[in-house]
Amino acid sequence: MTFSHKHLLGIEHLHPRDITAILDLADEYVDLNRRAEKHADALRGLTQVNMFFENSTRTQASFELAGKRLGADVMNMAMQASSIKKGETLIDTAMTLNAMHPDLLVVRHPHSGAVDLLAQKVNCAVLNAGDGRHEHPTQALLDALTIRRAKGRLHRLNIAICGDIAHSRVARSNLILLGKMENRIRLIGPPTLMPSQISEFGVEVYDDMREGLQDVDVVMMLRLQKERMDGGFIPSEREYYHRYGLDAEKLALAKPDAIVMHPGPMNRGVEIDGTIADDINRSVIQEQVEMGVAVRMAAMDLLARALKAQRLAEAG
């Protein structure tokens, strides 16, 4: 299995065969994670630092667990409370950390492009855990693994991504990944929550959810990202739920075996009805969380192999 990338900054840099390599290895880690004894040693001796400049519950926990299961020394930096508040620049923070010789740096940042910038300044592998509205590559990979396991394939599926597309890095990374794997993608949401250059992505756009959901295999719901909105994007949450919230009536328009996804955290009763989210026959939301740990183990394992090969070449 070869993986020639130094960092995992976005899906846009990956070839379909890279995506398949990560998912294949992640499948093996799903098996490991289901055993009573969950340890492997792919990252033994390596130091993983998690730098989250934006709040996160599941992504940070998932990366932490992934690193620990593979034997890394994992350190979480609480960036909200630390030097960033004292005015240190992102680059100074990165240089300081770099001097401590981490091997894997997992970064979440509220600004698009910040993680790419940081990756240019350090000499370890950098994983983007979400930057602004730009990318969230491990989310798209875990979504892809969830779809591949539920549907038995990751191509030629009709996939609807619904809701707040404009503010969503999850939507952007998924759009790129699912497009690369040759699926038909429909974006559904109000025009105010649709990015302006969306036609460039070669997708179908719907503002009527009932029309957009017809016969799809996968319904991916997105959180209404209120923290990224600065104006009146929606009339009211009640109205939004009525038009774009996933309920049983709207879901009935999709294929009878369509799966329901959500990256979390969920606004129940805003973008999704709680009963649908909890319906184990339709919803794969818990599987997404499970796949998240396995995908992050796979991504860090492959980056660590590339890092070790590079160091060996430099030493030789």
- By CB under 6 A, is residue 142 in contact with ligand ASP? no
Please indicate whether residue 172 is annotated as part of the active site.
no
Q: What is the 3-state secondary structure (H, E, C) of 262-316?
A: CCCCCCECCCECHHHHCCCCCECHHHHHHHHHHHHHHHHHHHHHHHHHHHHHHHC
- Taking the complex as a whole, how short is the minimal distance between the CB of residue 54 and ligand ASP, in angstroms? 8
Q: What is the Cα–Cα distance from 211 to 26, expressed in whole angstroms?
A: 35
**Angle subtended at Cα 140 by Cα 134 and Cα 141, rounded to the nearest 5 degrees:** 135
- By CB under 6 A, is residue 130 in contact with ligand ASP? yes
**What DSSP element (H or E) covers 94?**
helix 90-98
Where in 12-71 is the site for ligand ASP (CB under 6 A)? none
Where in 67-86 is the site for ligand ASP (CB under 6 A)? none
Q: What is the Cα–Cα distance from 272 to 221, expressed in whole angstroms?
A: 7
Phi first, then psi: give them for residue 49, nearest 5 degrees: -115, 130
Which of 7, 69, 108, 167 is flagged as catalytic? 108
Where in 251-290 is the site for ligand ASP (CB under 6 A)? 263-264
In 3D, which of 241, 201, 163 has the Cα closest to residue 11?
201
Please indicate whether residue 268 is annotated as part of the active site.
no
Please indicate whether residue 59 is annotated as part of the active site.
yes
- By CB under 6 A, is residue 161 in contact with ligand ASP? no
With CB atoms as reference, the residue minimizing the distance to ligand ASP is 223
Which of 136, 186, 223, 250 is flagged as catalytic? 136
Give the nearer residue to ligand ASP in terms of CB position, either 131 or 301. 131
Footprint on this chain of ligand ASP (rule: CB under 6 A): 130, 136, 169-170, 223, 225, 263-264
Q: Give me the active site residues, please.
A: 58-59, 86, 108, 136
